[in-house]
Amino acid sequence: MQGDHFELENAPADAGTLRRVAIDPVSRVEGHGKVTLLLDENGQVQQVRLHIVEFRGFEKFIQGRPYWEVPVMVQRLCGICPVSHHLAAAKALDHVLGADRLTPTAEKVRRLMHYGQILQSHALHFFHLSSPDLLFGFASEAGRRNIVGVAAAYPEIARHGVLLRKFGQEVIRLTAGKRVHGTGAIPGGVNRSLNREERDSLLAEIYAIVGWSRQAVHLVKRLHAADPALYDSFGTFRSNILSLVGADGSLDFYDGHLRARDADGRILVDGFPIQNYQQLIREEVKPWSYMKFPFLAALGPQHGWYKVGPLARVQNCDRIPTPLAEAERREFIDHGQGNLVHAPLAYHWARMIEMLHAAETIKALLHDDDLSGSTLVTSGVRKRQGVGVIEAPRGTLIHHYQVDDDDLVSSCNLIVSTTHNNQPMNEAIRRVAQRYLSGRELTEGLLNHIEVAIRAFDPCLSCATHALGKMPLQLELQDAVGQVVDRRCTAS
């Protein structure tokens, strides 16, 4: 069995008689999306859909720009994970420039930048966006379910969350030039290294950061242990998984090859070169979302969809190459009792293991004198296209560019982490809706169960809406008082 499937496209035959409930917008996620539920006369859930209703169009307007502008431009996809797009684009354009092997300083500065991004993003998501649900309960008072409520009830937990994110942002500032939308990575390398004083300033804090990261893992484990029936069953479904793994099979956020497993943990594909990703992955479009639906080409859209991100990565790799995180990974694997863990709420446990690994990796890098080297850029034989793949906080991120003889981008394809998780998120909210909402009077607390399932994936909806698909794009022109004076609707 490759994975469960639910056909979300075809509404029930009697859809006109069903009651429609909308959660709009989905809260405590990056970007804008909504969920619609169709209920019959008995309150039974007949259909659930996650709609991504904002449109970005990056794949189109990047065309015609000089390739060296792209790493700075594409990170405007997002203010939460700009470093991931910055580096994926730079890696793709390394190949265009012929820089197939970076200098040690360039690679290590980029890795430090990226692991700082993993640290700050995981801290932001867990402590600020998800911990209110986990600490207070999914149906607790809505006004309390926020970081302010956490700070009041659990001040030390909130403090650690803020400081962990602050440290990750400082790593980004020193490597990229700014905390958000920096310029540190360029095709062929980087434009700066770290001096001794900068490294020492980070080293002064990193040991506390590692300790707080360990405490975060222990917090998640305590939450699981307190209610294992909930954490193991909430929105759970089976699917394939996909991620990068390092050349030796270890967890690697920055580089490696693609590996996929089926729902039972058997390896489907291994050692797959990233430059050939189009032979492995196809993308399906559907008329009710601006977000595409990727799947493994060999299995087709019915059975080939998959999960990405922390839950996939910690189970897809053979080991984590830092000792504290590896010990936690082994405990996580043992929790599955020989099977893959498919529960969406387990994303939080895996995410904190990855945050600990990022902290350990940053500590090791800060002791490496290559970070302060002076040889920053390399090049080689110019090529017409390049693919860059990186493990962003939310999962596998693919950037693919073709560049013409005038150094202008002629085509661009992006498959972002949340796009990979599109079908899994829809599956999770369907399971939750049928388990918790069917036949009940809908309350804010019950509807928040749907949002809890979505937030487990840490979606970045802004990143995911880069392409049009087949959903119509409606444009309205309004006058100064808000009256619509013209309207155009166009299908792609």
* Residue 236 contacts residue 431 (beta carbons within 8 Å): yes
Question: Within 128-227, where are the H helices?
Answer: 131-136, 147-153, 155-176, 196-226
Token look-up 């904190």 returns 352
Q: Report which of residues 212 and 42 the model is more confident about.
A: 212
- Lowest average pLDDT, out of 211-215, 256-260, 280-284, goes to 280-284
CA distance 75 to 83: 7
Residue 204 has what pLDDT?
A: 98
pLDDT band, residue 9 (cuts 50/70/90): very low
* Residue 320 contacts residue 314 (beta carbons within 8 Å): yes
Beta bridge partners of 306: 240
- pLDDT > 70: what percent of the chain? 88
User: For residue 128, what is the DSSP state?
Assistant: I
**pLDDT tens-place string over residues 349-382:** 999 999 999 999 999 999 999 999 999 999 999 9
**Number of neighbouring beta carbons within 10 Å of residue 337:** 7
∠ Cα 253 254 260 (to 5°): 55
Residue 472 has what pLDDT?
A: 47
CA distance 186 to 379: 11
Q: Is the pLDDT of residue 86 over 80?
A: yes
Q: Which residues contact 414 (CB under 8 A, 6 or more apart)?
A: 58, 59, 74, 77, 397, 398, 399, 400, 466, 467
Tell me, what amino acid is at 360? E
Burial class (CB in 10 A: 0-12, 13-18, 19+), 21: middle
Q: Is the pLDDT of residue 454 over 80?
A: yes
Segment (H or E) for 121: helix 104-123
Q: Report which of residues 16 and 264 the model is more confident about.
A: 264
pLDDT band, residue 4 (cuts 50/70/90): very low
Q: Could you tell me the end-to-end alpha-carbon distance of the chain, in angstroms, rounded to an integer?
A: 35
**Number of neighbouring beta carbons within 10 Å of residue 47:** 19
∠ Cα 217 223 229 (to 5°): 130
Beta bridge partners of 189: 186, 377
- pLDDT > 90: what percent of the chain? 73
Give the largest CA-CA distance in the chain. Answer: 70
Residue 61 has what pLDDT?
A: 80
Q: From the centroid of its chain, how far is CA 293? A: 15
Q: Given the DSSP bridges, would you call strands 185-186 and 281-284 parallel, antiparallel or unpaired?
A: unpaired
CA distance 134 to 352: 14
For residue 196, which phi and psi values (nearest 5 degrees)?
Answer: -60, -40
Q: Report which of residues 8 and 406 the model is more confident about.
A: 406
* Residue 13 contacts residue 4 (beta carbons within 8 Å): no
Residue 464 has what pLDDT?
A: 55
Burial class (CB in 10 A: 0-12, 13-18, 19+), 379: middle
pLDDT band, residue 33 (cuts 50/70/90): confident
Residue 128 has what pLDDT?
A: 95
pLDDT, the chain, mean: 89
Residue 180 has what pLDDT?
A: 86
**pLDDT tens-place string over residues 106-157:** 999 999 999 999 999 999 999 999 999 999 999 999 999 999 999 999 999 9
CA distance 143 to 158: 17
* Residue 364 contacts residue 322 (beta carbons within 8 Å): yes
Q: Report which of residues 471 and 417 the model is more confident about.
A: 417
Query: What distances in angstroms separate CA 355 from CA 69, 157, 456, one per listed residue?
Result: 31, 15, 15
Collapsing DSSP to helix, strand or coil, 447 comes out as: helix
Mean pLDDT of 55-60: 69
Token look-up 């490759």 returns 2
Mean pLDDT of 383-398: 96
Residue 475 has what pLDDT?
A: 52
Nearest to 352 by CA among 123, 83, 117: 123
Query: What distances in angstroms separate CA 442 from CA 21, 260, 438, 445, one per listed residue?
Result: 9, 39, 9, 8
Q: Is the pLDDT of residue 269 over 80?
A: yes
**Angle, to 10 degrees, between the axis of helix 155-176 and the axis of helix 346-366?**
50
